[in-house]
Structure 1
């Protein structure tokens, strides 16, 4: 009999880690360092790794993180498994994602006419989405768009518009505070074992009136239902080591050690990754599941992912 199976994402494969691959268990939440955590799901057995929910900041994280060399090997194999660059894009319609981000960032950024705009794309692969965002900014009147691209993948998409320029910082230490108009951290924070400092630095890089965008998986409620109806759910560990939903993002400003004033301008179920043209049934189910989340917010969990726009005031 064939086993029914659900995956947290189409684009990553789970891997069973041995004791040699894992760090020792941590008693502390990766985001707020609280010890008030309870198990909510099993990620693997022998050795056991469970998903722990923090009662303070509402992040859910793996009880044991992969060693840095384990992740390096995992992602090198992940990128080597693709035949070409297009296979690495984890969205059916990057143009749609770019327009979505611009639509909600533009009211915060204000009039772009004649301005030089800076984008920090953290974990954006080859920069395909940030390049499309930059093109939209140019259409809106921006004189120049500079994109700082930080990612494990070192290839960079080409752009024929000389008003759009990429540069490759080695890491976030090369990004000064209060210098970036738009930070994009889409589908990346869930991969980072200790993301608290990185998230704080990303927010600190914003100029006053700048906007931060993040998109993360939130699949724990779906995994619980899958278990109840005897369907195996693949969390895609160790690709995903955190699960971050509405309650986490709505409280993130008070969770992190931030200097300055920040406010949430939008916090909703995340945009659907797929399209009806390419994945009709998956897209239909995703829209149906996410819709109640726009109304009931934190009271409803079957959304698959959450997104947030945070403004520096």
Structure 2
């Protein structure tokens, strides 16, 4: 069977051994508790692991989570496979930062309270060294008029951060639980992270609880399983990046009624669209063109077209 990687060019999923798996086969949705699960795509046969879709909250999740020790090894500084994702984004870092900054600016430009504050507090969840978020804030400073930012990066590897960045003060934390109890933020950037964590809904709850009123949350996640299942029928296999990716979250999940009921806070979705193309047109030209073609129908059909590879949203807290 042919195998291609359009989910995240440059990194690959790996097969888990039986002793790497932490739990029995999933019986109910980890997000909403529903028993209405539909098998979506087999990942590996020994042990048997597959992705299953909840028909209530519409999230897709792996049937078995890796053990905690395996995950810690995956994330540690010496063998951090996810760092390759940042390298891949680095190929188009300027494009990614410009795209996200532009969309954040559209929401911030009319927020008088935020623009009149001395410092805008930003949370970057899962941002690694903060390379992307720092570039985003640099571009926002140019658009907003040199506003001061405090950037709090929360990443499992707790990397060394850049210091002495004009207009940007940085702090580093290992987990969301390590954040100061009374800390609140005006902006959260959670780009390509919720699919990696074992309990994304709990992390989302924590994030939303710490965002100030009129604050905004940017999230980007893969929506690759529907495409992978479709192509499998014609003997083309897409690397889903399991166990690096444990969840698949598309527009139907973010815009669904169940998620709104689960989140105990009022919010408005001010942007919901297919995510920007992650591949470099110069280094992954074929992947870039294929991604562009697959994303085009979403501009007509929206979330009814699940074959776009990824989704991005901005929540505004009311």
- Structure 1 length as normaliser, TM-score? 0.90
SS at 2:296's partner residue?
A: helix
What residue is the counterpart of 1:45 in the other structure? 45
Task: Say which of 198, 205, 219 aligns to 2:203.
Answer: 198
* Kept after mapping to 1: 8 A contact 2:218/2:314: yes
CA distance in 2 between partners of 1:56 and 1:81 (Å)? 32
Q: How far 1:235 sits from its partner (Å)?
A: 1.1
Aligned to 1:58: 58
CA distance in 1 between partners of 2:180 and 2:39 (Å)? 37
Aligned to 2:159: 155
Other-structure match for 1:74: 74
Task: State the alpha-carbon separation in 2 of the partners of residues 236 and 197 from structure 1.
Answer: 22
Once the 2 structures are TM-superposed, how far is the Cα of residue 78 of structure 1 from its aligned partner? 7.6
Alpha-carbon RMSD: 2.3
How many Å separate the matches in 2 of 1:76 and 1:252? 37
Listed one character per residue, the Cα deviations across residues 112-170 of structure 1 (whole Å, up to 9, x for unaligned) are 36641111001111001111122123222243100110112332442543421110124
Q: How does 1:104-253 map to 2 (within 5 A)?
A: 104-109=103-108, 110=111, 112=115, 115-139=118-142, 140-173=144-177, 174-176=179-181, 179-251=184-256
Aligned partners of 1:168, 1:179: CA distance in 2, in Å? 15
User: Would you say the 8 A contact 1:40–1:50 is kept in 2?
Assistant: yes
SS of the equivalent of 1:89 reads helix
- Tell me by how many angstroms 1:20 deviates: 1.1
Q: Distance in 1 between matches of 2:66 and 2:99?
A: 33
State whether structure 2 residue 288 is matched by structure 1 residue 283.
yes
**1:13 matched residue in structure 2:** 12
CA contact (8 A) 2:156 2:174 kept: no
Contact 1:179 1:207 in 2 (8 A): yes
Say if 2:297 is the partner of 1:298.
no
1:87 to 1:203, Cα distance in 2 relative to 1, 3 A:
closer
TM-score scaled by length of structure 2: 0.89
Separation of aligned partners in 2, 1:233 and 1:86: 18
Residue by residue over 1:177-200, the C-alpha shift from the partner in whole angstroms, topping out at 9 and shown as x without a partner, is 682111111111111122111011
Query: 1: distance between equivalents of 2:231 and 2:247?
Result: 19
Which SS does the other structure have where 1:58 is aligned?
coil
The answer for the alignment partner of 2:88 in structure 1 is: 90
| Cα distance in structure 2, aligned partners of 1:87 and 1:218 | 16
Gaps of 5+ in 1: none
- Please state whether the residue corresponding to 1:294 is helix, strand or coil: helix
Q: What SS is found at the alignment partner of 2:98?
A: helix
1:99 CA displacement: 1.8
Distance 1:280 1:256 in 2: 41
